[in-house]
Amino acid sequence: MKHLLNYLLFVLLAMSFACCQKDNIVSVDRIATSDDVSDDIAGTTFAQTVSVAFSDNGNAVVTGATDDFSVTINGNDVTIVYMGEEYMMYELSGTATDGFFKLYSGSKQGITLNGVNLTNPNGAAINVQGPASAPNKGKRTFIVLKGTNALADGTLYINTPSTEDEKAVLFSEGQLVFSGMGSLAVVASGKSGIVSDDYLHFMEGTVTVSTTTSAAVSGSETLKPACLKANDYIKVTGGTLYLSSSGTGAKGISCDGYGIFRGGIVNVTVTGSNYGSSGSGFPGGGQSNSDGVSAKGIKFDGNLSITGGSLVVKTTAHEGIESKGAITISGGEVYSYSQSDDAINSAGEFTISGGYVYGHSAGNDGLDANGNCYIKGGVVYAISASSPEVAIDANTEGGYKLYVEGGTLIAIGGLESGSSLTQSCYSASSWSQNTWYALTVGSTVYAFKTPSSGGTPLVVSGASTPTLSSGVTVSGGTSYFEGLLYQDASVSGGSSVSLSSYTGGNGGGGGPGWGGHGSF
């Protein structure tokens, strides 16, 4: 119900989006959804619209191109070179099972997808380059979604000029900013789904990306496919993203820079196995050589910041969410499950000061920091595999520590030894599998369901001394973590669980074998 209400509010706010054309001038008027003004299409006026209509019954038709354009049409293969300096809008429609849209431009532009269904068996369906004289110098492109749209590539990318990149079904040398109230489905069979050699920003619309594309070595290059990829950063401030990857060594989201999640709904499922040799970080494997590619849910080489929205990640072979920098979570809802490795991993510091965070690992730690880990606020539910793994881990070997300073905490598998527990923590005398528990902190009741397996002990903490009951019946409340936790729930029945003071350490003794919630 919570997500439905948020979505309805989102729709009402965004219904003000309107795009009209009069006297060859395009204006866009809608409510801004981001504090990044330069990415708000409402602030851009486009000089004119060039329309491209694809058709399997004949050649594509291009209208609206003036003397500043060079247009080449070969069946449904459309290449446009724009030599002017004004901002242009390109509107794509129609269906072609063997075609593409390729744009060379040195100016900022928009591409409206208005009921287009386009497949290129030999490469990218949409390829946005910079000016013809410098194709790798791309500008910002607004992707406006109207109606229902679909893009796909083939298994092979051929005829790509040696001086250019062509990395995905939808590829741009410049920034890609998504808005509009329509939808886009992307199916990647040859490379990645959506890639920018600069940054990606999702503000509105529904985008579904799936890949069956697997990692592979081609000459000296190792193909590392993902549903979404960017060099600089990836930002989500609105809209809905469904990302699924089944390819070997493929990821849901991969970025060489940093990540920002401020709103919207993101759902990532990665079921592929790892590719190549068991390099460093492969679950259960040692370092042999560098050709291994891991099938992670989300990977950022820079910092990751989550302040709002909903993020759900499920992986089979590797980490659910990973940052090679620091992770900070101050709002929103985060759910991450991994069958094999850490649910959420930070190579630096990991700080939670707000929001709702669920990290569940069947093969490693629930939440793992290679630097200090700070729990300062929010609601945190972490689950680890059996000992020696812990629900929340910090790099004590490197001289770092876990700090619990606030928030509401549920940890199945215990906490890192040597933790600094400024806020008192308590351990249950025992816990049962697949059981509803009620945790009361002050006047707030949290009902949570335990998995069918995990480490020991069960640790809880809150702003005041908590009480715990097991075997309760739950009704009402606000649902989080795919129905595994309810806040302000009504509970009845059950029995009181004895709690004792807890100072850290997983308590020894592994829990029962794996096989619980989260298999997919």
Q: What is the phi/psi pair of residue 13, to 5°?
A: -65, -35
- Residue 398's CB is within 10 A of a number of other CB atoms, namely 10
Task: Please state the pTM of the whole predicted model.
Answer: 0.89
Domain membership flag for residue 145? yes
Taking the C-alpha atoms of residue 211 and residue 195, their distance in angstroms, rounded to an integer, is: 13
Taking the C-alpha atoms of residue 62 and residue 53, their distance in angstroms, rounded to an integer, is: 7
* Length of the chain as a residue count: 520
Give 287-316 pLDDT, tens digit per residue.
333 567 999 999 999 999 999 999 999 999
Residue 469 near residue 404, CB atoms below 8 Å: no
Q: What total of structural domains would you count in the chain?
A: 1
Domain membership flag for residue 456? no
Question: Per-residue confidence of the chain (520 residues) as pLDDT tens digits?
Answer: 333 344 333 333 333 333 333 333 333 333 344 467 899 999 999 999 999 999 999 999 999 999 999 999 999 999 999 999 999 999 999 999 999 999 999 999 999 999 999 999 999 999 999 999 999 999 999 999 999 999 999 998 998 998 899 999 999 999 999 999 999 999 999 999 999 999 999 999 999 999 999 998 766 567 899 999 999 999 999 999 999 999 999 999 999 999 999 999 999 999 999 998 654 445 544 433 356 799 999 999 999 999 999 999 999 999 999 999 999 999 999 999 999 999 999 999 999 999 999 999 999 999 999 999 999 999 999 999 988 899 999 999 999 999 999 999 999 999 999 999 999 999 998 999 999 999 999 999 999 999 999 999 999 999 999 999 999 999 999 999 999 999 999 999 999 999 999 998 763 333 332 233 333 2
Q: What is the phi/psi pair of residue 460, to 5°?
A: -130, 155
Domain membership flag for residue 266? yes
Domain membership flag for residue 234? yes
Domain membership flag for residue 15? no
Domain membership flag for residue 39? no
Taking the C-alpha atoms of residue 296 and residue 254, their distance in angstroms, rounded to an integer, is: 9
Containing structural domain, residue 144: 23-32+44-277+294-426
> 40 vs 44, 110, 244, 489, CA distance in Å?
8, 12, 28, 40
